[in-house]
Amino acid sequence: MNCMRSLVSILLLLSLPVLAAQRPGEALIAAAPSQFAKIDDISVHYKFLGEGGPVTLLVHGGGCDLTFWELQVPALLESGSVLLLDLPGHGKSDTPEDVRYSMKLHARAIDAVMKKAGVSSAVVVGHSLGVPALRQFYRSQPGKVDGFVAIDGILLYEDMGFMISLLDWLLDSWLYDTIWPAFVAGFVTDATPEWGRDKVVNSMTNAPPFVVKSFYPEMFHPETAINDSISVPVLAIYADAPTWTEEIQADIRAFNDRTRLVMMPDVSHFLMLDNPTETNRLLLEFISEL
């Protein structure tokens, strides 16, 4: 199995000149075979690239999919293997209407993918929704996490009860078609490449409304919105924006004695698209020090 993945990766790299119209990471991900794990009656889509070395598990944000890591995959393959998945309700995973898109569901999906891929532990990297999803995964399977990376997502919960309730009400009202696109537009800036802005807006605004209306409040559900500890090394990479106040930054720095916080200037919420060079440098440095 490992030899087959290695052969596929080599063939993909050799084919990149032919796929010149695509970005290298985009081509690598597109050509990697799709595989599926199962939780209950939900098929969870994933792709496994590379061979050997540490495994890096990448978990996308809400309304996105595994292709949002295209600028990280080539760099991470230099250090080992990369496991990507589409969370339930996203990408090529099943999108049932009769489930809660809770952090517990996403954590179970992550665990199912790791089991199906034969991965016993990994360095986990989450963006946005991926961070609380991975917090719940760590909570349930701490032995499967070698290191934890949070990219512009909720690592620690502050008291935002009123604002969350208001946004939850707005998203569940007739204003959804106005509020959600406006909300999404704020996630990108001029720092985001044009293709990246288009990708974010198209993917998130076209996400099924019932999925958005479920996963957003679920991020703040009391059953998983818990500020419990993580004992493994933590790297937190955040956009230097007003959202992350000095108080929040101080709390993150004090999270554990192996936490490093990096506030990245001149980037949007999708900082891994805006500044992939620095994002990848930080990821590779973190992985090498584990």
Q: How much of the chain, in percent, has pLDDT values that exceed 70?
A: 91
User: What pLDDT, on a 0 to 100 scale, did the predictor assign at position 95?
Assistant: 98
Burial classification of residue 24, based on how many CB atoms lie within 10 Å of its CB (0-12 exposed, 13-18 middle, 19 or more buried): middle
Lowest mean pLDDT among 9-18, 103-112, 181-190: 9-18
Over residues 199-203, the mean pLDDT reads 98
For the chain, the C-alpha Rg in angstroms (whole number) is 18
- Domains plus CATH for the chain? 2-288 (3.40.50.1820)
CA angle 138, 140, 146 (to 5 degrees): 30
- Hey, what are 70's tokens? 């295209």
User: What pLDDT, on a 0 to 100 scale, did the predictor assign at position 226?
Assistant: 92
Report d(CA 280, CA 277) in Å as an integer: 5
User: What integer best gives the mean pLDDT of the chain?
Assistant: 91
Strand partners, 147: 123
Q: What is the pLDDT of residues 40-76, one digit of tens each?
A: 999 999 999 999 889 999 999 999 999 999 999 999 9
Kindly give, in sequence order, each residue whose CB lies less than 8 Å from that of residue 68, ignoring residues fewer than 6 positions away.
60, 61, 127, 199, 203, 270, 272, 273
Q: What is the pLDDT of residues 214-267, one digit of tens each?
A: 999 899 888 999 999 999 999 999 999 998 999 999 999 999 999 999 999 999
User: What pLDDT, on a 0 to 100 scale, did the predictor assign at position 11?
Assistant: 44
User: Nearest CA to 152 among 221, 222, 60, 63?
Assistant: 60
Residues counted in the chain: 290
**83 in Cβ contact with 117 (< 8 Å):** yes
Kindly give, in sequence order, each residue whose CB lies less than 8 Å from that of residue 21, ignoring residues fewer than 6 positions away.
none
List Cα–Cα distances, 248 to 62, 243, 274, in angstroms.
Answer: 22, 9, 23
- Hey, what are 274's tokens? 């805006």
Q: What is the pLDDT of residues 81-111, one digit of tens each?
A: 999 999 999 999 999 999 999 999 999 999 9
User: What pLDDT, on a 0 to 100 scale, did the predictor assign at position 41?
Assistant: 95
Report d(CA 227, CA 32) in Å as an integer: 37
Kindly give, in sequence order, each residue whose CB lies less than 8 Å from that of residue 106, ignoring residues fewer than 6 positions away.
59, 87, 88, 129, 133, 136, 137
